[in-house]
Structure 1
Amino acid sequence: MTPPDVLVVGAGSAGCLVAEFLSRDSSRRVMVVEAGRGAVFESRLDRLPIDHPVRAAPIPERRGRPMVRGRGLGGSSAINGGYFLRGHRADYFSWPWPIDEVEAAFTEVERIMRVHRFSDAELGDVARATETWAGPQTGGEWPRVGVNRVRTNSVDGVRWTTANVLSVDRPNLLVRAETPVARLLVRAGRAIGIETGDGEAISAGEVVVCAGTTGTASLMAPIVGPMPLHEHAERIVRFTPRRALVSTALLQTVIHTSSGLEIRPYSDDFASFTSLAQTGVPIGVADMAGTQGAVADGVVDLGEPDADSAGRLEVGVETVVRMLGSEEFVDLVEPGSVRVDPTVGMSQHAWGTLPAGTAGTAGTAVDADGRVDGVRGLRVIDGSILPGPLSSGPHATILMLAALIASRWD
């Protein structure tokens, strides 16, 4: 087989979009290799398939905290909550991409990902009570401090994933599923291809690693060594509902605070969306500044909130407790049932192991086009390259960067 011009490692959230954008040029041969299955996985928003035996992959973490990433075509976009929020516009001002390119890429991605705002008629009980308590919405396409109605990538209640976007019939595009990658092949300072788990060598003109933050870290470790890692610490306040709740999607509205918290009023007990046992209806309080963890010697450590972060989280918890005790929630919350989880959880948002910046800048692993410093013909495009914190979850931004970088390929 003629070696592809571009070999994309990973057909997850970013990889599918990179491959679809690059293969729009019919003269460019694109191959995608994916460790999981190749079929489009369809699931409704009233289910959260993080417990799926095939499509959800648990990731070991040093402190034993749960980590789950998507596996197969579409990656985590096929099993996440269908939350698709940009960061705040100001989040991107210091990033190495012009804000007009960022905005244009968001517009294109939101079009092809079928992104729309949850309507008033779709709101569940918890989201409706939260918006009544917190006041009018403040954000549109760009979220802001205050109440932000969630935007979602779905069609008629079914997730629209990056696998749907990649499902195009092009003679210059080849997707090889169930093909795990063991290592990157580098010779004389240039990436020349990959070696699969079966020992097969696949050559390529250029290799783009889109294996997700933790998957990419395992492939990049022999090249760059230990890497930083960031997560969004999340404290959970729970309550027992007084009655059955209306909930068509996991998360439909959020509150962004001036201190950098995202308050997440989940629509119902996670048992309503998964096979997990009932634990109460959760309201999440996430510090979007991020923790400082690391990936070293193949071990993932998500870090812990520092003292400042812990203080912000405590204030957020107090706010949520007041909210649940308000008259807006009196019909939903069983009296005396509000409680706070004793441990701090994480948001399944690992990011920033290889932060993008200007080539040659100290501490920068990749440039603004995803090129890896010191290795020609190798790029990284996924959550690994986020260069700083966001006020919202990172999924929409990761897809935006995949589209932005692929659109200006040279």
Structure 2
Amino acid sequence: MSELPHEVDVLVVGGGSAGCVLAKRLSADPNRRVLLVEAGCDTPPGQVPAEILDSYPMPLFFGDTYIWPGLDAAVTRGADGRIRRRAYEQGRVMGGSSSINVQAANRGLPRDYDAWAAAGARGWGWDDVLPYFRKLETDLDCDGPLHGRDGPLPIRRILEPAWPPFAHAVATALDATGLPRRLDQNGEFEDGIFPPAFSNRDDARVSSAAAYLDAPTRARGNLVIAAHTQVTDLVFDGRRAVGAQLRQADGREQRVAAREVVVCAGALQSPVLLLRAGIGPAEHLRTCGVTVLADRPGVGENLRDHPALTIAQYLPRRLRLPLSYRRASFVALRSSSGLPGGTPSDMYLTASARGGWHALGASLALYFLWVNQPHSIGRLRLNPADPAGRPDVDLGLLSDPRDLERLATGLRDLVALVVSPQLNPDPAAIFPASFTPAIKRLSRVTPRNRRVTALLARLLDGPAPLSRLMLRAVSGGVDLGRIAADDAALRDFVRETVFGVWHASGTCRMGDSTDRGAVVDPTGRVIGVEGLSVADASIMPSLPSANTNVPTIMIGEKIADHLVSQLGAGA
């Protein structure tokens, strides 16, 4: 195990999308001692596991090698009123969720960040954050004043001339929306059909760890990177953070002193560390037996995710990708619902030519549909019976009826678009994709599952009566065409199948220091204490109209810039 220093200038808690940025930027001064701790395994250059490098990410979600084990969340109330729960996959590996996600590199829209500034996050409007979006990236396809050319993170797209038949078929089907085809979702801010941008070079994932913790950065004598190391407690002297208690994988514990502590553990772990340290809603902390250090009612509140549905479609052979073709997502649609309570560009759809790593998955398309600007809000709390255990997470999806209406209408539109001659005109060939425990077991990469899915794929491709029987079995008998034609049945179906799309954010909301609901000020400093900052998706006041990875890296860059300026040379 790594030998940990007993004292540093800056302790960065969490080697995720933002934590890797902080480690690189803060250690650039050789006189500033920085310790980066990550609960999961390390992925140093030349030793990145093949499954992380893979452009096709889905096998990473199964098993707990790279995710927090046992983490789950209440999703919403089903049609019968009972609360639905499901596993929530959050990265526990160097690079965090940037090492397990679909590699989407979507910034969102200028209005998202102008809304942050209007909500009290001064200095976080579009014009303020754009320099940091440019700083983090090397865009391999697009140039001009909106794009960076020499940042650590490569961003590319698969452009139309290189599309396989599936991508052309999807784009042609989506042309029925009347929306134009566009090139750059990060520089063209209107609705349209785009080739999605992703963080990838030479058909290999580039995580935040790969981008920022490169060999020269790791060689710095003033930077220590400790993997398999978990922060069990933040340590305070009065109201000043002075370090943390750490536990390594072999059980050894050590206290590390630090002049500054920066928490980058993500929207489901950062608020937990604050709550256990006594920073949060006073009444809740007392219920959990935690001494109140700073009464900040907003800690754990404002939890947001994009309410999403996943739909599968059986593909004819001519549209399938060979398993050797790893990148499977080629087309995205940004659109406006036009419904009451909606906003421009409030819906998003992506299409993948693969529903799994195996032969059965190769015969299925997968469509992800989500509400791009949700109104629903959840929250996170400690479990009073076990404050040191897993947190109680309630995503609160569809708690606002406007999200239910938009997702239901979006599903009806999706069915109408993809049940088409370009893809598959058979209404029975489209069905809900689920991540049930049985599906997750089948999705583990094992020789047995390879054999089983190969057999299922052959049966699905068999004579028409057998194929229809298999489709009914795979779909669980759900007739999406019938459901889409019945308003009540459609809403019930959405309540039963909605899930979060792994974009948890907002639980340490950024705002003005006089705002009782804010947790950090616009510099990332935790309000009411000293020496402690938060820099990750938890500080987002609201969700951007985007996958959250690149916005989180931007947050890391911007807060790192502030800390470097504040700490000064050699601090």
What is the TM-score of this pair, normalised by structure 1?
Answer: 0.92
1:242 aligns with 2:242: no
In 2: Cα distance, 1:107 partner to 1:129 partner: 33
Please report how far the alpha carbon of residue 126 of structure 1 lies from its aligned counterpart in structure 2 after TM superposition: 3.8
Please report how far the alpha carbon of residue 304 of structure 1 lies from its aligned counterpart in structure 2 after TM superposition: 2.3
Equivalences for 1:336-355 in 2 at 5 Å? 336-340=428-432, 342=493, 343-355=497-509
Q: Cα–Cα, structure 1 residues 146 and 277, in superposed 2: closer, same or farther, change >3 Å? A: closer
SS at match of 1:128: helix
Q: Cα–Cα, structure 1 residues 103 and 352, in superposed 2: closer, same or farther, change >3 Å? A: same
Q: Residue 30 of structure 1 aligns with which residue?
A: 34
Q: Residue 454 of structure 2 aligns with which residue?
A: none
Please report how far the alpha carbon of residue 255 of structure 1 lies from its aligned counterpart in structure 2 after TM superposition: 0.9
Q: Residue 313 of structure 1 aligns with which residue?
A: 407
Greater shift, 232-241 or 243-252, is seen at: 243-252
SS at match of 2:262: strand
Which of 122, 128, 132 is equivalent to 1:101?
128
1:67 aligns with 2:88: yes
Partner amino acid, structure 1, of 2:377: Q
Equivalences for 1:177-326 in 2 at 5 Å? 177-197=227-247, 198-222=252-276, 223-225=279-281, 227-228=300-301, 229-243=303-317, 245-246=320-321, 248-259=326-337, 260-272=346-358, 280-290=364-374, 291-297=376-382, 298-305=391-398, 306-326=400-420
Please report how far the alpha carbon of residue 122 of structure 1 lies from its aligned counterpart in structure 2 after TM superposition: 4.5
Partner amino acid, structure 2, of 1:120: E
In 2: Cα distance, 1:340 partner to 1:178 partner: 37
Partner amino acid, structure 2, of 1:144: E
| Number of residue-to-residue matches in the alignment | 406
In 1: Cα distance, 2:190 partner to 2:171 partner: 15
Does the Cα contact within 8 Å between 2:320 and 2:363 map onto a contact in 1?
no
Greater shift, 95-104 or 70-79, is seen at: 95-104
Greater shift, 136-145 or 227-236, is seen at: 136-145
Per-residue CA deviations over 1:189-237 (Å, capped at 9, x if unaligned) read 1101101134311110000000111111221113114512111111233
Please report how far the alpha carbon of residue 293 of structure 1 lies from its aligned counterpart in structure 2 after TM superposition: 1.2
Does the Cα contact within 8 Å between 2:109 and 2:545 map onto a contact in 1?
yes
Q: Residue 20 of structure 1 aligns with which residue?
A: 24
Q: Residue 45 of structure 1 aligns with which residue?
A: 55
Q: Which runs of 4+ in 1 moved over 4 A?
A: 276-280
Greater shift, 143-152 or 15-24, is seen at: 143-152
**Gap regions ≥5 residues in structure 2:** 75-83, 138-150, 282-298, 338-345, 383-390, 434-492, 567-571
What is the TM-score of this pair, normalised by structure 2?
Answer: 0.67
Greater shift, 43-52 or 160-169, is seen at: 43-52
Please report how far the alpha carbon of residue 3 of structure 1 lies from its aligned counterpart in structure 2 after TM superposition: 1.8
Please report how far the alpha carbon of residue 271 of structure 1 lies from its aligned counterpart in structure 2 after TM superposition: 4.2
Q: Cα–Cα, structure 1 residues 173 and 156, in superposed 2: closer, same or farther, change >3 Å? A: same
Q: Residue 116 of structure 1 aligns with which residue?
A: 156
Larger Rg: 2
In 2: Cα distance, 1:227 partner to 1:85 partner: 26
Partner amino acid, structure 2, of 1:103: L
Please report how far the alpha carbon of residue 279 of structure 1 lies from its aligned counterpart in structure 2 after TM superposition: 9.8
Which of 208, 213, 230 is equivalent to 1:166?
213
Does the Cα contact within 8 Å between 1:29 and 1:173 map onto a contact in 2?
yes
State the identity %. 29
Please report how far the alpha carbon of residue 125 of structure 1 lies from its aligned counterpart in structure 2 after TM superposition: 4.1
Per-residue CA deviations over 1:68-114 (Å, capped at 9, x if unaligned) read 11112111111111111110122111223143331110111112111
Greater shift, 199-208 or 253-262, is seen at: 253-262
Q: Cα–Cα, structure 1 residues 56 and 334, in superposed 2: closer, same or farther, change >3 Å? A: farther
In 2: Cα distance, 1:294 partner to 1:124 partner: 42
SS at match of 1:193: strand
**Gap regions ≥5 residues in structure 1:** none
Please report how far the alpha carbon of residue 361 of structure 1 lies from its aligned counterpart in structure 2 after TM superposition: 2.1
Which of 66, 85, 90 is equivalent to 2:106?
85
1:147 aligns with 2:193: yes
Does the Cα contact within 8 Å between 2:320 and 2:362 map onto a contact in 1?
no
Does the Cα contact within 8 Å between 1:230 and 1:352 map onto a contact in 2?
yes
